Structure 1
Amino acid sequence: LDAKPIPGTWSTRQVVCHVADFEPIYADRMKRVIAEDEPTFFGGDPDVFAARLAYEQRNVDDEVQLVESVRGQMVSILRTLAPNGFRRTGNHLEHGPLSLETLLSRITGHIPHHVNFIKAKREKLGI
Structure 2
Amino acid sequence: MRLNSIGKKEYHPYYKTYLDKSNAEGGIVEGLSQNSEIVASFFSDIPKEKHSYAYAAGKWTIKDVLLHIIDTERIFAYRALRIARRDKIPMVGFEQDSYVEHGFAETRTIENLVNEYKTVRQATISLFSNFSSETLLEIGEASGAPFSVRVLGLITIGHENHHIEIIRDRYL
TM-superposed deviation, 1:4? 1.7
* Residues 1:25 and 2:67 are matched in the alignment: no
Contact 2:63 2:106 in 1 (8 A): yes
Q: CA RMSD in A?
A: 1.9
Letter in 2 for 1:80: N
TM-superposed deviation, 1:119? 0.8
Contact 1:23 1:67 in 2 (8 A): no
TM-score (ref. length: structure 1)? 0.82
Letter in 1 for 2:141: N
Q: Where does structure 1 differ by over 4 angstroms across 4 or more consecutive aligned residues?
A: none
Query: How many residues are matched?
Result: 122
Aligned-pair identity (%):
23
Aligned pairs (5 A) from 1:60-75: 60-75=110-125
Q: Residue 92 of structure 2 aligns with which residue?
A: 42
Tell me how far apart the structure 2 counterparts of residues 79 and 52 of structure 1 sit (CA, whole Å): 31
Letter in 1 for 2:138: R
Q: Residue 10 of structure 1 aligns with which residue?
A: 60
By relative contact order (CA 8 Å, sep 6+), the higher-ranking structure is: 2
SS for the counterpart of 2:55 is coil
Unaligned runs of 5+ in 1: none
